[in-house]
Amino acid sequence: MLRLLCSVLLITGVAVAQTPLHERPAVLPLSLKRAVEIALSPEGNTRVQLAEETIRQAESREAQARSPLLPNFDASLTEQNEVVNLQAFGIKFPSIPGLNFPEIAGPFNNFNARISGSQNIFDFSSIRRFQAARVTVEATKAEVEGTRNQVADQVARAYLTALRADADVATAQSNVELSEALLRLANSQKTAGTGTGIEIVRAQVQLANDHQQLLVAQTGRTRAHLQLLKTLGLRLDGDVELTDKLGYKPADNIPVDQAVKTALETRVELKAQQGHEGNARLSFSATKWERLPTLAFFGDYGTIGTGPNAAFPTRTYGVSLKVPLFDGGRRDARRSEALSEYKQEQVRTHDLRDQIELDIRVALDSVKSAEAQVAAAREGVELSEKELAQARRRYKAGVTNSIEVTDAQTRLQRARDNLTSALFNHNLARIDLSTAMGTIQALVDNF
């Protein structure tokens, strides 16, 4: 038997040694801070990658809006051979006896090399559109920063869920160890003649139930770790080892007014919305000032002739003034539409301010409630442990039977689960408060 066992171990060791390293799932030590850094990296969370592209798109639209304010130059070079029907241009020579005027001119060569340009001197509507595009770039950058905060919040929640799953596994393992100890106690009591067979069966049933709960907890941990890997944008065939623990860290006692003030100054979502409101205001102004005349300079210079060696310089330059008169009501309709969009953005800004205050008040209340839950749960665990210890002493002394011990064990398990839930809720409330105040990164750095 020993020889067979050694052979199996040897074969298993050789198989593991021959497994390529890249096929073995790596275990990544992971803190919350490191998890957020991975998610926010260029190859991390998908939302961050997509958000970064919106900045490039906004900057491209800004460049397009700037183009009407900059000079525009074109160059052309043509050389062609023509045959022209003069009558097609309305040229008809009189009939003079003895003279025969041709109706067809050509073939002849035509060479034309020319550069032309134009520059808007005054176009207030285009200026406003450029200003609106520039404000949009800043608003987009704020939105991207908001997306990064949202991803940090999402990672913190996924990490916290994984921590809870780890704590559930540890609690389930402790319950199994406790049930095994109680089963040994029941066996010793029966051996001593102070116990019965039903008490052993009762302890075995409890142990089997705890084993099942351990399997459920392990499945939940696997699912939570996979979800965390997906959130971080990592390969799902790996595994992580969470270096942080599900603990308790008191939240700062912040007055509501101060928290709301901090949120209004920090929340990038509000900055982005204010940028959208500014863009709508400038777009409305651009549409309104389309009624103003526009002044532009134009000119061209080049050589034209029958060939490069027979070409003569020519030029044209001047100033044009364009005065809008009537366009069938299109400008008025666009101005009305732009004004409506501006009012919409004002409403959204006001609503976001109210939502921020609501988020702050709800989060502060959740933190206070979670702190009370943690205190009550800790007291429950402490009392349940004392109850179980007394029940075990009474059972060992033969004063009572195993039912009292089993009941005390059940209450201890429930108290442990309550403590895990309370710690989870408290940390979740801290995340909600930090997200509402726009300080989620500070929480991640000091988790």
Domain positions in the chain: 25-70+122-293+333-445
Is domain 25-70+122-293+333-445 classified as CATH 3.40.50.720? Answer: no
pLDDT of residue 367: 93
- In the sheet that holds 104-122, the strands lie side by side as 72-85, 104-122, 294-305, 311-322
User: How do residues 166-223 score in pLDDT, each as one tens digit?
Assistant: 999 999 999 999 889 888 888 888 887 777 788 888 889 989 998 999 999 999 999 9
Whether 48 and 39 have beta carbons less than 8 Å apart is answered as: yes
What is this structure's pTM?
0.75
State mean pLDDT over 308-313. 84
> Residue 119: which of 317, 323, 324, 325 has the closest Cα?
317
pLDDT of residue 86: 79
CA atoms within a 13 Å half-sphere pointing along the CA-CB vector of 283: 21
Report residue 332's pLDDT band, with 50, 70 and 90 as the boundaries. confident
pLDDT of 260 strictly over 70 = yes
